[in-house]
Amino acid sequence: MTTAARAGAEEDVQRRIPDVPSLVAALDRNNYLADVGLATALFLAVRLPQPILLEGEAGVGKTEAAKALAELLDTPLYRLQCYEGIDAGEALYEWNHPRQLLGIRLAEAGGAAVTETDLFAPQYLLRRPLLQALEHPGPRPAVLLLDEIDRADAEFEAFTFELLAEAAVTIPELGTIRATHPPIVVLTSNRTRDLHDALTRRCLYHWIDYPGPDRIAEIVRRRVPASSGPLALQAAAAITRVRTLDLAKPPGISEAIDWVSALAVLGVQSIDPGTAEQTWGTIVKNRDDLELVGSRGAAWLVEGTDGQG
Ligand SMILES: Nc1ncnc2c1ncn2[C@@H]1O[C@H](COP(=O)(O)OP(=O)(O)OP(=O)(O)O)[C@@H](O)[C@H]1O
Ligand SMILES: [Mg+2]
């Protein structure tokens, strides 16, 4: 039964994503623009299947890639946002102590005896993303996003991996829960530290490069339909220029989207140095960076010239 269900799901996924170009097109329909390199990596992650580790600078679309994948497969996305000190209780499951206490009180009030088995029953289990992804009933596998795994401790990383390799978890009071449809796993990292060998060994890897101005403009057009095409390209070119400065927080795709959204709200059709100066709080978010951009000048930002002719 389990094997049949899994084979059916595989066929279904295969029909939805028969090859890399179909995946590029399906991502595109979900407003996610991927180049062939990224699409191939995602394709393999789904079809092998094997977890994929996506690395790249802030805002290059790591998190969004997992969301788009879940959308195009029409399957749930379970997201675990990692942070320092995250533990199994946050990731996998916890017992709902307040509800258990309430259960005891209610039973006592009704004069009934409560056994341990009553209290450690599935209705008192708080399911966290890893367990939800394992328990997902199908018809297709869920996408499990372990976002910013580099923020978690190395032990936690190892823990998630053993669990995912087994596609099963044992809850002492309930027994072993085995996934019918092992999830498609996407991990992201901003490289704040090196990841465990045990983890990288088990993953496919893809580094997402920062895109050029044309692609940034295309992404902006998708995300801010109210903006005019030339405005998006102008903003993308300016952002690309700003990124050549030695900024503490170089603006990314999100900032390009925010900037163009702001300009659209302001009714701006074309960026001139004056409007750039008024609005660069949407792209530069640090006092020192602001000074650096200011000293380079708005004319340079907008036109690539120093404004002196
Ligand atoms: N290839 C892309 N196609 C469409 N939108 C994109 C693409 N890349 C980035 N975006 C948009 O840029 C924004 C930032 O993307 P996302 O949050 O996925 O970045 P990230 O790499 O996860 O960044 P961080 O490291 O800060 O978490 C989102 O609004 C997303 O929609
Ligand atoms: Mg992210």
Identify whether residues 77 and 158 lie together within a single domain. Answer: yes
> For residues 63 and 161, which has the higher predicted lDDT (pLDDT)?
63
Identify whether residues 158 and 244 lie together within a single domain. Answer: no
Q: How confident is the model at residue 309 (pLDDT cuts 50, 70, 90)?
A: very low
Span from the CA of 239 to the centroid of ligand 2 (angstroms): 20
Closest CA to 307 of 269, 273, 270: 273
Burial class for 101, CB neighbours closer than 10 Å (0-12, 13-18, 19+): exposed
Query: Is there a domain that residue 307 lies in?
Result: no
Q: Which one-letter amino acid corresponds to residue 27?
A: L
At 8 the pLDDT is: 87
Mean pLDDT along residues 67-93: 95
Domain boundary among 207, 236, 251: 207
Parallel, antiparallel or unpaired: strands 143-147 and 125-127: unpaired
Q: Is the pTM of this model over 0.85?
A: yes
CATH number of domain containing 139 = 3.40.50.300
At 280 the pLDDT is: 87
Query: Is there a domain that residue 308 lies in?
Result: no
Q: Which ligand is nearest to the CA of 64?
A: 1
Identify whether residues 34 and 154 lie together within a single domain. Answer: yes
Rounded Cα gap, residues 303 and 298, in angstroms = 8
At 1 the pLDDT is: 52
Domain span at residue 147 reads 3-86+133-207
Task: Give Cβ neighbours of residue 245 (< 8 Å, ≥ 6 apart).
Answer: 289, 292, 293, 296
Parallel, antiparallel or unpaired: strands 77-81 and 93-95: unpaired
CA 172 to chain centroid: 31
Q: What is the 3-state secondary structure (H, E, C) of 98-160?
A: HHHHHHHHHHHHCCCCCCHHHHCCHHHEEECHHHHHHHCCCCCCCEEEEECHHHCCHHHHHHH
Q: How confident is the model at residue 288 (pLDDT cuts 50, 70, 90)?
A: very high
Identify whether residues 102 and 149 lie together within a single domain. Answer: no
| Ligand 1 pocket residue status of 254, Cβ below 6 Å | yes
Identify whether residues 18 and 167 lie together within a single domain. Answer: yes
Tens digit of each residue's pLDDT (9 = 90 or more) over 98-126: 999 998 999 889 988 888 888 898 899 99
Q: Which ligand is nearest to the CA of 252?
A: 1
- Total number of domains in the chain: 3
Query: Is there a domain that residue 230 lies in?
Result: yes
Identify whether residues 296 and 225 lie together within a single domain. Answer: yes
Mean pLDDT along residues 286-304: 90
Identify whether residues 78 and 195 lie together within a single domain. Answer: yes
| Ligand 1 pocket residue status of 147, Cβ below 6 Å | no
Q: Which atom of ligand 1 is nearest to the CA of 208?
A: 21
Identify whether residues 69 and 160 lie together within a single domain. Answer: yes
**Do 270 and 234 meet the contact criterion of CB atoms below 8 Å apart?**
yes
Identify whether residues 255 and 198 lie together within a single domain. Answer: no
Query: Is there a domain that residue 309 lies in?
Result: no
Identify whether residues 49 and 152 lie together within a single domain. Answer: yes
Query: Is there a domain that residue 260 lies in?
Result: yes
pLDDT at 265 over 70: yes
Identify whether residues 160 and 244 lie together within a single domain. Answer: no
Identify whether residues 46 and 18 lie together within a single domain. Answer: yes
Domain boundary among 78, 102, 127: 127
Query: Is there a domain that residue 143 lies in?
Result: yes
Span from the CA of 254 to the centroid of ligand 2 (angstroms): 11
